[in-house]
Structure 1
Amino acid sequence: MHPLAIAAVLLAAFTHATWNLAAKRASGSRHFVWLYSLGSVVLYAPAVIWVLSTTQLEFDTAHWVALLMTGILHMGYSLTLQAGYRVSDLSLVYPLARGTGPLLSFLAATFILHEPANIFSVLGVLLIVGGILMVSGLANEAHKAPRAGIALGLLTGVFIAGYTINDGWAVKTLMLSPFLIDFTGNMLRLTVLAPMALRDPPALLAEWRMYRSPILIVAVLGPLGYILVLYAMKHAPIGHVAPMRELATLIGTYFGARLLKEQVTPIRLTGAVLIVTGVIALAVTG
């Protein structure tokens, strides 16, 4: 992989884990997704306006389909992830979602988009996914994990795989701007969820006051992290970028242990080593 693509993915991993920590801390907010989507739209609108004014791209049916799909898939991802955080730990839902996503993304990129795969890239994906399962505790204590958390984590992973393939196609083949893709997702969430969020303005204002910091963190870092990932996808195979993003799992697990006081066992540390090894395997094969 190109060094700039690797750097973009690594920075995105840190921003992603950071905003997920904020999202977990705001799990009690009913309208958190709508509030941070509003913040992202306001903050990133100038950049999107600049992109549209300087781009000569002519939109056809494929472009509109890609943008519609990214909006739907990202809304499903956001709502499912936040629902998971309401019923279970960050250190369970986050690794499970991030483990399911790259596996499905790699398979789709290989068998649907016909991206090349070799022994090292396959080994890298298997190490990352296996490491994530160990970090989450599902490899040895699945019976103790909340069933709702497992189900929502898996469903979140399906949405991750879906938007990864769709958005990778959009930036690599359709040449859509990463800013426009992320902005579209936020606009759709903002529009669809508005009737429910605006039904009780006093309650919405109270949530804003209570969760102001997490809302702003996600509004800024959510789009930034994903724009970096989309940039990497323009310069590297989707099937490699998607698993490399899962370095965020290490950071997220650390946050869960140190900041949320969740338990870290030797098997979780072993899983972390497997994830790093898998990332290295993918980095040297691109």
Structure 2
Amino acid sequence: MTQWLISIEGTDAGHHMALILALTAAVLHAVFGALQKGRHDPWLTRGAIDFCYFVMAIPFVVLVVPAPEPHMWPIFAVVWVIHVGYKLLQAWAYTKGAYTVVYPVVRGTGPLFTVIGAYLIFGETFTGTQWVGIAVLLAGIFGLALYNMVFLVSERDTLHAALGLAALTGLFVALYTTYDAYGIRATANPFTFLAWFFMIDGVFMPIVAIIKWRRMENRPTLGPLMARGMVGGVVAPFSFGAVMLATRLDKVGEAAVLRETSTVFAAIIGWVFLKETVGPRRIALMALIALGAVIVEMGG
């Protein structure tokens, strides 16, 4: 598997596989976001998820993948710091605003910053047609957030804080997308990066969650919380792992943009599972997001 992935880097086969991986990541990332916003406090949910994928990563680190090269340790340290910042901001934003407002703003600002970062770090450029696609996709994403702000938000008193945190979280999405792409390209075996990433990344939030849980007056029972953590612990490696592999196989910017079709899937999840309203305007905006992604892909 590893040798095959390495062999298709930079080829047409690699481009097509990166497309499949980025869209897979989009679906799974929407599921992951809904898990964090659902029944339990977002801080506790994130802690449970991180603990589960930390435990799941240990056998792969010990028994399966080669050890990281010495130059990877400083990279892992920076990756850890960026992801801690992202997760703190994401959980904070979810405590301030509705999922269907926060999520589109995060996912809308993320790819724009990522495309800029990919140009500065990797020298990637987009065609004029692809920039049109990005504009269409972002118009759909921010239009969806605006619609939700006007018609659906219940947390009116914390709306401005939620939007500010969501935009800042989007900047951290761009930071981790570009830096993770740098990290996964810096090691010979991409699965070494992934296994060690999920073990290292899973250390911080469980500690935060335990502290928060112990301070609660009405503590939730751990069984349902850890069950949600188990689901998230399986979804996260496939979601984040898929987009990381996509950034190794093909352009970082394209993978980031295609992943943001997750906003469409997030709206569907919000409608079906979180009982949030979906009407013709939101369907039209979701179609705009999908159209933008198609333009980006076809214009490359």
Normalised by the size of structure 1, how large is the TM-score? 0.86
User: Which residue of structure 2 aligns with residue 259 of structure 1?
Assistant: 273
User: Which residue of structure 1 aligns with residue 57 of structure 2?
Assistant: 44
Matched, 1:164 2:177: yes
Letter in 1 for 2:75: A
Letter in 1 for 2:167: L
Instruction: Output the CA distance in 2 between the equivalents of 1:24 and 1:196.
Output: 15
Instruction: Work out which of the residue numbers 58, 61, 65 in structure 1 matches 2:69.
Output: 58
RMSD: 2.9
Letter in 1 for 2:178: I
Matched, 1:75 2:84: yes
- Comparing 127-136 with 259-268, greater Cα deviation is found at 259-268
Instruction: Output the CA distance in 1 between the equivalents of 2:209 and 2:262.
Output: 32
Give the deviation of 1:50 after TM superposition. Answer: 4.1
Does the Cα contact within 8 Å between 1:67 and 1:181 map onto a contact in 2?
Answer: no
Give the deviation of 1:195 after TM superposition. Answer: 7.0
User: Which residue of structure 1 aligns with residue 290 of structure 2?
Assistant: 276
Letter in 1 for 2:168: L
Letter in 2 for 1:38: F
Give the deviation of 1:121 after TM superposition. Answer: 1.8
Give the deviation of 1:175 after TM superposition. Answer: 4.4
Q: Deviations over 1:19-65 (max 9, x none)?
A: 21111114425433222211101112222334543x6x6322xx223
User: Which residue of structure 2 aligns with residue 93 of structure 1?
Assistant: 102
- Comparing 40-49 with 150-159, greater Cα deviation is found at 40-49
Does the Cα contact within 8 Å between 1:179 and 1:227 map onto a contact in 2?
Answer: no
Does the Cα contact within 8 Å between 2:57 and 2:195 map onto a contact in 1?
Answer: no
Instruction: Output the CA distance in 2 between the equivalents of 1:185 and 1:73.
Output: 14
- Comparing 110-119 with 92-101, greater Cα deviation is found at 110-119
Instruction: Output the CA distance in 2 between the equivalents of 1:139 and 1:33.
Output: 24
User: Which residue of structure 2 aligns with residue 32 of structure 1?
Assistant: 45
Instruction: Output the CA distance in 1 between the equivalents of 2:176 and 2:109.
Output: 13
Residues 1:117 and 1:214: Cα distance change in structure 2 (over 3 Å):
same
Letter in 2 for 1:264: V
Instruction: Work out which of the residue numbers 134, 143, 149 in structure 2 matches 1:125.
Output: 134
Name structure 2 gaps, 5 residues minimum: 1-11
Give the deviation of 1:213 after TM superposition. Answer: 2.8
Residues 1:48 and 1:121: Cα distance change in structure 2 (over 3 Å):
farther
Give the deviation of 1:91 after TM superposition. Answer: 0.7
User: Which residue of structure 1 aligns with residue 29 of structure 2?
Assistant: 16
User: Which residue of structure 2 aligns with residue 245 of structure 1?
Assistant: 259
Letter in 2 for 1:59: P
Give the deviation of 1:182 after TM superposition. Answer: 6.3
Instruction: Output the CA distance in 2 between the equivalents of 1:233 and 1:222.
Output: 16
Residues 1:140 and 1:266: Cα distance change in structure 2 (over 3 Å):
farther
Matched, 1:113 2:90: no
Letter in 2 for 1:67: F
Instruction: Output the CA distance in 2 between the equivalents of 1:191 and 1:260.
Output: 28
- Comparing 155-164 with 263-272, greater Cα deviation is found at 263-272
Does the Cα contact within 8 Å between 2:26 and 2:239 map onto a contact in 1?
Answer: yes
Does the Cα contact within 8 Å between 1:80 and 1:155 map onto a contact in 2?
Answer: yes
Identity over the aligned pairs, expressed in percent?
23
